[in-house]
Amino acid sequence: MKNKFIRTAIFLLCSLFSIGVNAQSIENEKYRPAFHFSPKAHWMNDPNGMVYYNGVYHLFFQYHPGGTTWGPMHWGHATTQDFFNWEEKPIALYPDSLGTIFSGSIVIDKDNTAGFGKNAMVAIFTHHNQKIEEAKTGLHQYQSIAYSNDEGETWTKYKGNPVLPNPGISDFRDPKVMWYEQGKKWVMTLATKDRITFYSSPNLKAWKRESEFGANLGAHGGVWECPDLFPLKSNGKTVWVLLVSINPGGPNGGSATQYFTGNFDGNKFVPNSTKEKWVDYGTDNYAGVTWSNTGDRKIFLGWMNNWQYANQVPTKAWRGAMTLPRELSLASVDGAYYLRSLPVKEISPSLKPVYKKGTVTIDKEIDLSAYAKPLDGKFKLDLSLENASDFNIILSNVNGQKLIIGYNKKSNSYFIDRALSGETSFEKGFAQKHSAPRLLTNKEINISLILDVASVELFADNGLTVMTDIFFPDSAIRTIKIQSKAVNKLSNLSLSKIDKKQLK
Ligand code: FRU
């Protein structure tokens, strides 16, 4: 008895010690983000199966546990309650005889339509059969399902897989499923090479083709992937949003996510505009979709990377991080609908202002470095500029590496320049300046920047223009300088520390 007690105590002490050491060393790894999700080790790409259930936000993700480059895909799993503190869980889905596990979604089957149990979590994903692809003797992508009755801890694959065989299309993947209440049926939005195909089902097992969209619309610089379809309200009116990731062909090169607004009647998506629109103009927000089971709220998260260099980025133990979760809403500009993305409100309690000024005149430069230094490259910077005119925010470190974020009046556009931001040599196109059109033409500009060690997220004009870029500085960003050519007025200038542990 006594022996058992001592053994248990030693075990607990050792575990506590190793957890401490582990957490410590992980946080100290070069380029490791503090509050964006990144796996402890190995390769990660797309977010998958994002679902909210019982107060917990689940994030599954494309995961290769065998290395730090893309390989046989599994579904990793992590959870959060506050979008800041993430807990990585055991791998959820492993490859099987039908193939590896590509991207897909999860729904909560409230009415037990599939027969796996009331409120079962049902994952709908693409099986990718590498052997068939290599042998070129058949079609290697088809849709399958799996279910969990213990909140995503353990999964059982359905015996009747695949539930949607391949009809003869080489790229046939990334099912995003939602419950379409008006028609009392499930709707699957699927990427089918250069277009989207919609399917419907009463039970998640038998799928019927409804229609297709987009072969001659939108950007087509690359294959269409990872779609999402959901309604948003704008002044009491329901507008449907269709997200489509494409690779390559993004506005600043490589992969990016475009979107369409329109109407969906359970059978067809009809766009109300043919303008090209992008969720994010930075180079590092790909394959993003929204959480399911969140009611009218739509919370989006993307993979903070780009296929152009994802396999080469200079992190060591792991490769890949996710963007901050963002709340999506609709705005109308010049008669067209646009998406507005802003960091979810849950992060607000974690922000602790270290500098705040109501109004301040800027004549050439404001230097916030004294306040930025202790924040160690993790902060939020907010400001409004009275008159839209050229300005730069220069973030730098002791190595003289810098990231420049700014606005150019002549082109009415925002930009992020990472040419001199640190390690860039791993890919020839990485050291570049990216730009994004400003949708508004009014005088006052407001922006928020969120920095987390090796990434910057720019939300301009209350989230109407968004840019996400990763960069790799050799040491933490500790200097912030705001520069303006013309004398101007800044208001609501604040710099905040981001404090992670806010959980009740
Ligand atoms: C998008 C994507 C998906 C696919 C997955 C494979 O980044 O190519 O289309 O399901 O990654 O990992």
Concatenating the DSSP letter of every residue in 310-373 gives TTT-S-SSEE--BPPPEEEEEEEETTEEEEEEEE-GGGGGGEEEEEEEEEEEEEEEEE-HHHHG
Q: Examine the pLDDT at 450 and tell me if it is beyond 90.
A: yes
Element (H, E) at 26: helix 2-28
Ligand 1 neighbourhood includes 103 CB (under 6 angstroms) = yes
At residue 426 the predicted structure's pLDDT band, cuts being 50, 70 and 90, is very high
Region 14-21: mean pLDDT is: 40
Q: How confident is the model at residue 13 (pLDDT cuts 50, 70, 90)?
A: very low
pLDDT band at residue 239 using 50, 70 and 90 as cut-offs: very high
β-pair partners for 385:
445, 490
Mean pLDDT in residue range 353-357: 97
Q: What are phi and psi of 182, to 5 degrees?
A: -55, -35
Q: Would the pLDDT of 158 be above 80?
A: yes
Predicted confidence at residue 351, as pLDDT, reads: 94
Q: For residue 303, which atom of ligand 1 is closest to its CA?
A: 7
What is the mean predicted confidence (pLDDT) over 483-490? Answer: 95
Where on the phi/psi map is residue 487: left (φ > 0), alpha (ψ -120 to 50), or beta?
A: beta
Residue 133 has pLDDT above 50, yes or no: yes
Do the beta carbons of residue 404 and residue 391 sit within 8 Å?
Answer: no
Would you say the CB of residue 174 lies under 6 angstroms from ligand 1?
A: yes
3-state secondary structure of 167: coil
- Looking from the CA of residue 128, the nearest atom of ligand 1 is 10
Is the predicted pLDDT of residue 9 greater than 50, yes or no?
no
Nearest Cα residue to 437 out of 420, 454, 455, 412: 412
Q: Report which ligand 1 atom has the smallest distance to the Cα of 102.
A: 10
Residue closest to 302 by CA, chosen among 20, 36, 493: 36
* DSSP state, residue 480: E
The confidence score (pLDDT) of residue 8 equals: 39
Q: Catalytic one among 46, 280, 284, 469?
A: 46
What is d(CA 164, CA 207) in angstroms, rounded to the nearest whole number?
A: 6
Between the alpha carbon of residue 68 and those of residues 30, 41, 43, 314, 316, the distances in Å are 15, 8, 4, 10, 8
Mean pLDDT value of segment 478-504 = 89
* Gap between the Cα atoms of 291 and 32, Å rounded: 25
Q: Which of 62, 166, 286, 309 to mutate to test the pocket of ligand 1 (most atoms within 8 A of CB)?
A: 62
Cα(102) to centroid(ligand 1), Å: 6
User: 439: CA distance to ligand 1 center in Å?
Assistant: 30
Q: Going by C-beta distance under 8 Å and a sequence separation of 6 or more, which residues neighbour residue 181?
A: none
pLDDT (tens digit, 9 = 90+) per residue, 405-424? Answer: 999 999 999 999 999 999 99
Q: Is 55 left (phi over 0), alpha (psi -120 to 50) or beta?
A: left
User: According to the model, what pLDDT value does residue 137 have?
Assistant: 86
User: What is the whole-number distance in angstroms between the Cα of residue 251 and the centre of ligand 1?
Assistant: 19
Whole-number Å distance, alpha carbon 164 to ligand 1 midpoint, is 18
Q: Flag whether pLDDT at 20 surpasses 70.
A: no
Given a cut of 50, whether residue 179 has pLDDT beyond it is: yes
Atom number, ligand 1, closest to the C-alpha of residue 286 = 7
- The torsion angle over the Cα atoms of residues 113, 116, 121 and 127, rounded to 10 degrees, is -100
pLDDT at 299: 98
Task: Indicate if ligand 1 lies below 6 Å from the C-beta of 46.
Answer: yes
Mean pLDDT, to the nearest integer, of 262-286?
A: 97
pLDDT-derived band at 14 (thresholds 50, 70, 90) equals very low
Least confidently predicted of 14-28, 225-239, 274-288: 14-28
Q: In 3D, which of 37, 28, 10, 17 has the Cα closest to residue 302?
A: 37
Cβ neighbour number for residue 298 with a 10 Å cutoff: 22
For CA atoms 366, 369, 375, 378, give the dihedral sign.
Answer: positive
The predicted-structure confidence for 334-352, as pLDDT tens digits, reads as follows 999 999 999 999 999 899 9
Q: Are 243 and 279 in contact (CB under 8 A)?
A: yes
Q: Check if 166 has its Cβ closer than 6 Å to any atom of ligand 1.
A: no
Q: To the nearest whole number, what is the mean pLDDT of the chain?
A: 94
Give the range among 25-39, 99-113, 230-244, 357-371 with minimum mean pLDDT. Answer: 25-39
User: What average pLDDT score do residues 54-61 get?
Assistant: 98
Pocket test for ligand 1, best of 43, 44, 46, 170 (most atoms within 8 A of CB): 46
Task: Give the number of other Cβ atoms within 10 Å of residue 325's Cβ.
Answer: 26
* 363 in catalytic set: no
Q: Phi-psi category of 434—alpha, beta or left, where left has phi over 0 and alpha has psi -120 to 50?
A: beta
Query: Is residue 504 predicted with pLDDT exceeding 80?
Result: no
Q: Is the CB of 62 under 6 A from ligand 1?
A: yes
Mean pLDDT in residue range 113-136: 96
Q: Ligand 1 within 6 A of 287 CB? A: yes
* Structure confidence at residue 87 as a pLDDT band (50, 70, 90): very high
Give Cα 8 distance to the centre of its chain.
Answer: 41
Whether 178 is in the pocket of ligand 1, judged by its Cβ within 6 Å, is no
Question: What confidence score (pLDDT) does residue 23 get?
Answer: 52
> Given this model, what pLDDT does residue 15 score?
40
Q: How many CB atoms lie within 10 A of CB 154?
A: 11
Distance 446 CA to ligand 1 centre (A): 35
State the DSSP H helix or E strand holding residue 66, giving kind and residue range, or none if neither.
none
Task: Provide the percentage of residues in the chain whose pLDDT is more than 90.
Answer: 91
Residue 61 has pLDDT above 90, yes or no: yes
Determine if ligand 1 sits within 6 Å of the CB of residue 173. Answer: yes
Distance of CA 229 to the CA centre of its chain: 16
> How far away, in angstroms, is 82 Cα from ligand 1 center?
27
For residue 300, give the nearest of 258, 342, 264, 263 by alpha carbon: 342
102 lines ligand 1 (CB under 6 A): yes
C-alpha 40/C-alpha 415 separation (Å) is 32
Lowest mean pLDDT among 238-247, 454-463, 491-500: 491-500
Question: Rounded mean pLDDT of 44-61?
Answer: 98
Distance 46 CA to ligand 1 centre (A): 7
Task: State residue 26's pLDDT score.
Answer: 75
341 ligand 1 Cβ < 6 A: no
pLDDT at 17: 41
